[in-house]
Amino acid sequence: MSEPVRVHTVSLGCPKNLVDTERLLGALGGAMTPVDEPKEADLVLVNTCGFIQPAIEESVETILDLVEEVREARESGKRQPVMVVAGCLVSRFRDALRNEMPEVSLWLSTDELDCWSDMIRDALGAETDKTMPRRVSTAPSFAYLKVGEGCSHNCRFCTIPSIRGPQHSFPLETLAAEARLLVTSGVPELVVVGQDSTAYGSDLGIKDGFRKLMDELLIIEGLHWLRVMYLYPAGLSESNLKYLATMGRPFVPYFDIPLQHAHPDILKNMGRPFSRDPQKVLERVKRFFPEAAIRTTFIVGFPGETEEHFHYLMDFVREHRLHHVGVFPYWPEEGTPAAELPDQVPDDVKEARRDALMALQAEISAELMEEYVGQEIEILVERPSPEWPGLYEGRAWFQAPEVDGKTYISVPEGTELTPGTFVTAEVESASTYDLSVLL
């Protein structure tokens, strides 16, 4: 092309969506210039989430806002942006959305993911430069490594298998090459993401696929931290935990385990692949990693959840004192078996239970953060604070990017820190979710 294509992108939802967007921009080639304003763009792309109702609403609102911007740009005659809507929302509701938004030039579902770049090139009516490596858009401190697509579990509340299909692991050699390229480019932390990271390779017939993946990643020269998200409870076997404990760094003992509930009856009704007492999983992790930081998510108000079930969950959280907890009220998503179950819980009860559990977790988190005061910790620098000169935002090993708290670094006047580098300092103070240090 004679001039660069000006691109405005919005990526909603999970990190896996963000990786799809980054790979797409790389596949479109080097003649792409990012712009902050949709009105200045030749291509406006939004990668949507359609997992649960709040995500659907956010995606629709974002599309409508961008449609208005695109309409104004076209009417002004200054630019004629091509608008593309992609992702999970399209996979669920493309036909309904297409009729309502004629301004959208292209609707791309997730089952067309491999063809997205070609379809966008056709819509632009122009050739782009040769394909580039993935265009990482996160902070210089980390990058996500998406290891697969879809999920082969049959949880009764989840829309992912119907949107993304069954488990589809990416080739091991491809992932290893991508990881090495990311680290070589200066990324100090890789965050592994997938619908079920411990199931990696099971669809490819790879025995011990998760360990083989770790074998490739843990030996990458220059990798400082390797964090693995979405570790299903069933995949945290004694053999896998023993393997990780033996390997040591750069693996950080941060375990993101989506338990979803604690009561066996609710777990069974949810159709979770691991429906026995989740306490055994946490005890197993702590046996191999006494210092482990554990993150999980819980769904409250699942059909049939009684006050007794909920108090059981509260007691579970109180007992295990987890580092990070996300709580979501159950949403009866169209097309899922759980939406048809009897004994649906009223919305106000679900909201009250979420608030109560989050209030309990806030107390626990504040106590855990206070225990770090006076300790010397290693901090990965992320960026200068946009609000306070002389203050930087960073993370300790027990703080995952974008979902957990931060560590704030105060520096002497005239001192500058480089994002993506590490500093070591004593923790001066703590709040509910964050820490503060002084260099």
Q: What is the pLDDT of residues 333-362, one digit of tens each?
A: 988 999 999 999 999 999 999 999 999 999
pLDDT tens track for 292-330? 999 999 999 999 999 999 999 999 999 999 999 999 999
Q: What is the pLDDT of residue 275?
A: 54
Average pLDDT over residues 4-19: 92
Residue corresponding to tokens 């961008």:
66
Q: What is the pLDDT of residue 130?
A: 62
Res. 373: pLDDT tops 60: yes
Q: Which residues pair with 161 in a beta bridge?
A: none
**How far is it, in rounded angstroms, from Cα 392 to Cα 34?**
25
Res. 90: pLDDT tops 70: yes
C-beta of residue 157 within 8 angstroms of C-beta of residue 34:
no
Res. 29: pLDDT tops 90: no
How high does pLDDT run on average in the chain?
Answer: 93
Determine which of 11-20, 93-102, 216-225, 384-393 has the lowest per-residue pLDDT on average: 93-102
- Confidence tier at 129 by pLDDT (50, 70, 90): low
Res. 2: pLDDT tops 60: no
Sign of the CA dihedral running 181, 187, 192, 194: negative
Residue-wise burial string across 28-61, b where 16 or more C-beta atoms lie within 10 A, e elsewhere = bbebbeebeebbbbbbbbbbbbbbbeebbeebbe
Res. 28: pLDDT tops 90: no
Q: Is 408 buried (19+), middle (13-18) or exposed (0-12) by CB count in 10 A?
A: buried
- Confidence tier at 128 by pLDDT (50, 70, 90): low
Q: What is the pLDDT of residue 389?
A: 87
Q: What is the pLDDT of residue 1?
A: 43
C-beta of residue 96 within 8 angstroms of C-beta of residue 67:
no
Q: Among 439, 398, 401, which Cα is nearest to 420's?
A: 401
Determine which of 148-152, 184-188, 251-255 has the lowest per-residue pLDDT on average: 148-152
Q: What is the pLDDT of residue 95?
A: 85
C-beta of residue 155 within 8 angstroms of C-beta of residue 271:
yes
Q: Give the CATH fold of the 376-438 domain.
A: OB fold (Dihydrolipoamide Acetyltransferase, E2P) (2.40.50)
Q: What is the pLDDT of residue 311?
A: 98
* Greater model confidence, 376 or 248: 376
Q: What is the pLDDT of residue 253?
A: 97
Q: What is the pLDDT of residue 192?
A: 98
* Helix 307-320 vs helix 279-288: crossing angle, to nearest 10: 10
pTM exceeding 0.85: yes
Q: What is the pLDDT of residue 285?
A: 96
Res. 248: pLDDT tops 90: no
Q: Give the CATH fold of the 142-370 domain.
A: pyruvate-formate lyase- activating enzyme (3.80.30)
Sign of the CA dihedral running 285, 291, 297, 299: positive
C-beta of residue 136 within 8 angstroms of C-beta of residue 390:
no
Average pLDDT over residues 87-113: 90
Q: Choose the CATH number for 5-124 among 3.40.800.10, 3.40.190.80, 3.40.50.12160, 3.30.2290.10.
A: 3.40.50.12160
Helix/strand/coil for 388: coil
Strands 422-430 and 376-384: antiparallel
Residue corresponding to tokens 């993101």:
256
Q: Which distant-in-sequence residues (6+ apart) come within 8 Å of 237 by Cβ?
A: none
Average pLDDT over residues 129-148: 87
**Domain boundaries along the sequence of the chain:** 5-124, 142-370, 376-438
Q: What is the pLDDT of residue 272?
A: 87
33: left (phi over 0), alpha (psi -120 to 50) or beta: beta
**How far is it, in rounded angstroms, from Cα 300 to Cα 331?**
10
Same fold: 5-124 with 142-370: no
Q: What is the pLDDT of residue 230?
A: 94
pLDDT tens track for 159-191? 989 889 999 999 999 999 999 999 999 999 999
- For residue 161, the tally of other CB atoms under 10 A from its CB is 17
